[in-house]
Amino acid sequence: MSLIVRFRSRDGQFRLPCEANTKIDDLVAEIVSKAGNVDLTTVQASAQGKPIEFGKSIAELGFRNGEMVNLEYTKKAPEAVTHDATISGKDTVQIRATLPTRQSALDDELDAEEGWIKRGRSSLCRHGDKGMCEYCSPLPPWDKDYQADHNIKHISFHAYIKELNETTNKGDGSYIPPLSESNFAINRNCGGGHEPWPKGICSKCQPSAITLQRQPFRMVDHVEFLNSDMVNTFINAWRMSGLQRIGLLFGRYAKYDKIPLGLKCEVEAIYELPQRDEDDGLILEKWMNENDLIEVNRKLGLEPVGIIFTDLSDAGKGDGSVICKRHADSFFLSSLEIVNSIKWQLKYRNKCKWSESGEFSSKFVTCVVSGNPSGEIDVAAYQASEASEALLKADIICPSTHPDQMFLRETSDTRYVPEVFYQGANEYGVIVKHNASPSFPVEYLIVSLTHGFSERGMFTESSWVENRGYLGEPVQSIQSLPRKYTSSVESTFTNWHVLVFVALCGILSTEEVNLLLQRDPNLAESHGWKTLRTVSEM
């Protein structure tokens, strides 16, 4: 009989299937190997407040289906070695400790894959069933022809790293980090023997000319909304008010099988940030409970993964159709929106062991809800490029009044702006280089992602949204909680907005909040939950 054991650790929650005779050591080993860099001498496990003895089976420990195990460990200072280590002298876990950073377990998983693209026998093959030739042998994940044939505009980030490693590190034992973050700022601590800029300058501290090209890769390939109702609820804010709306996406990153070594962002919920909305835009207001909200979501296994905003105008035809403002002849993301996206990306950095600095760009995405060429409401997903992050950090760019153009700032006493060019293929396929001063097309700063919907999320309901007082909706409070949620904990578990509110409302104890976040039905019997019910009925 197989059962599930749940684990809670500093790296998130895990659910592992096992048999009654499975040793607890095997399950723990699986998790610490995923976590990476774990100091195995510090691993401790406990269930129901009691320490667990390693070496015992699930049956011997008396675990029920769904048992929750707390796993504690510390992490080692990273070192560039590979070694074997053991837990309780028995189960061997191989841990690859690497450069001084810790990228996500997902990135480690993709690093471990080859990503070869398998091909079937082609009509040009002249060999038997067991043979292989240049027409049917597997292709590397960065193959340009495969990309062109499958209409893939950007290769995945991990395919890009593999390609760079292939050219930078030829397996002779030496290692050069294949990636370094772009840096376009002047070096104010130049060792060239002159007074620091702006009084002096030399070829060493002066940033060289920048040539912008379309970024060949993307950090995230696809955005998947795990329930379509949440997007519909979000759009309803505009339907009801005619005012634009912005939300923060909470979710996780996962492998995306449709692209070689691809990665997707799975969205579980949309948090509508405190904001003042207008019909042509909006202003973000102070977000008071940011840290608490992020912490609660971290315990749910969720993190901020992107933003979504509307740019909708009714077409005035009375059929619900909307104006298509964003297309190939106008723009997809305006210069102002790109600058905002870059700011979010600079806030949520991507840890990457292949980068010199330990970080490289961001996995944070930007989704726009606007009219498509058929006049339907549609979602489009983007990211700002890695180079654009460096341009903004060096204070070289700013938004212009033309949404399709980004301004290049001028050199001043506080800012040095190098020469900037942008290059791309013209209508004849010839590579042409243009001076980017005084402004340049925003399309050189973004990559587009695909998106889709599924119905496999943790939450099925998306009503009772926060920060919607301006719509005439009840402001979130214990008294305004719909009765159906306080009458059963199971209903509360289906709605992210309700669950997060209840977690932060201050009535439940820490232990009870943990039961809530584990969506444990035992919460119903707790003192805090009963108090919440009483207060909500007052």
- Is residue 235 a contact partner of residue 241, using CB atoms and an 8 Å limit? no
438: preceding bond cis by omega (within 30 degrees): yes
Residue 202 interacts with Zn ion (CB under 5 A): yes or no: yes
Can you tell me whether residue 162 is helix, strand or coil? helix
Q: How far apart are CA 452 and CA 164, in angstroms?
A: 30
Q: Is 67 exposed, middle or buried (CB count within 10 Å of its CB: 0-12, 13-18, 19+)?
A: middle
Nearer to Zn ion, 203 or 510 (CB): 203
Nearer to Zn ion, 120 or 506 (CB): 120
Stretch that binds Zn ion, among 167-175, 199-207, 260-268, 362-370 (CB under 5 A): 199-207
For Zn ion, the binding residues in 113-142 under the rule CB under 5 A are: 125, 133, 135-136
Q: How far apart are CA 288 and CA 270, in angstroms?
A: 17
Instruction: Return the DSSP state at 117.
Output: B
Residue 20 interacts with Zn ion (CB under 5 A): yes or no: no
For Zn ion, the binding residues in 272-311 under the rule CB under 5 A are: none
For Zn ion, the binding residues in 378-417 under the rule CB under 5 A are: none
Stretch that binds Zn ion, among 189-197, 246-254, 296-304, 477-485 (CB under 5 A): 189-197
Residue 186 interacts with Zn ion (CB under 5 A): yes or no: no
Q: How far apart are CA 161 and CA 163, in angstroms?
A: 5
Q: What is the dihedral of CA 293, 498, 250, 520, to 10 degrees?
A: 90
We find the least distance from the C-beta atom of residue 136 to Zn ion, in angstroms, to be 3
Q: Reduce the secondary structure of 68-82 to three states and give it as a string.
A: EEEEECCECCCCCEE
We find the least distance from the C-beta atom of residue 131 to Zn ion, in angstroms, to be 6
Stretch that binds Zn ion, among 63-71, 186-194, 253-261, 475-483 (CB under 5 A): 186-194
List 192, 242, 274, 469, residue binding Zn ion (CB under 5 A): 192
- Is residue 305 a contact partner of residue 267, using CB atoms and an 8 Å limit? yes
We find the least distance from the C-beta atom of residue 201 to Zn ion, in angstroms, to be 6
Nearer to Zn ion, 136 or 139 (CB): 136
**By CB under 5 A, how many residues form the interface with Zn ion?**
9
- Is residue 90 a contact partner of residue 55, using CB atoms and an 8 Å limit? yes
- The alpha carbon of residue 47 and the mean position of all alpha carbons in its chain are separated, in whole angstroms, by 32
Stretch that binds Zn ion, among 52-60, 108-116, 191-199, 372-380 (CB under 5 A): 191-199
We find the least distance from the C-beta atom of residue 166 to Zn ion, in angstroms, to be 23
We find the least distance from the C-beta atom of residue 191 to Zn ion, in angstroms, to be 8
Stretch that binds Zn ion, among 19-27, 190-198, 384-392, 449-457 (CB under 5 A): 190-198
User: And the tokens for 88?
Assistant: 């309780």
Which residues are bridge partners to 369 per DSSP?
310, 379
Stretch that binds Zn ion, among 204-212, 225-233, 396-404, 412-420 (CB under 5 A): 204-212
With a CB cutoff of 8 Å and minimum separation 6, the contacts of 130 are none
We find the least distance from the C-beta atom of residue 393 to Zn ion, in angstroms, to be 20
Q: How far apart are CA 396 and CA 418, in angstroms?
A: 8
List 18, 38, 155, 205, residue binding Zn ion (CB under 5 A): 205
Nearer to Zn ion, 204 or 239 (CB): 204
Nearer to Zn ion, 77 or 209 (CB): 209
Which residues are bridge partners to 372 per DSSP?
none
We find the least distance from the C-beta atom of residue 394 to Zn ion, in angstroms, to be 16
Stretch that binds Zn ion, among 182-190, 235-243, 370-378, 476-484 (CB under 5 A): 182-190
We find the least distance from the C-beta atom of residue 239 to Zn ion, in angstroms, to be 55
- Cα end-to-end distance, the chain, whole Å: 47
We find the least distance from the C-beta atom of residue 415 to Zn ion, in angstroms, to be 16
Nearer to Zn ion, 202 or 475 (CB): 202
Nearer to Zn ion, 194 or 484 (CB): 194
User: And the tokens for 474?
Assistant: 């009840």
We find the least distance from the C-beta atom of residue 185 to Zn ion, in angstroms, to be 13
User: And the tokens for 82?
Assistant: 């590979």
List 43, 159, 190, 270, residue binding Zn ion (CB under 5 A): 190
We find the least distance from the C-beta atom of residue 158 to Zn ion, in angstroms, to be 27
Nearer to Zn ion, 3 or 201 (CB): 201
- Is residue 357 a contact partner of residue 386, using CB atoms and an 8 Å limit? no
Q: Give 224-266 as a DSSP string.
A: EES-HHHHHHHHHHHHHHS---EEEEEEEEEEETTSTTEEEEE
Can you tell me whether residue 47 is helix, strand or coil? strand
List 90, 204, 276, 484, residue binding Zn ion (CB under 5 A): 204
- Is residue 61 a contact partner of residue 126, using CB atoms and an 8 Å limit? no
- Is residue 121 a contact partner of residue 136, using CB atoms and an 8 Å limit? yes
Nearer to Zn ion, 136 or 254 (CB): 136
For Zn ion, the binding residues (CB under 5 A) are 125, 133, 135-136, 190, 192, 202, 204-205
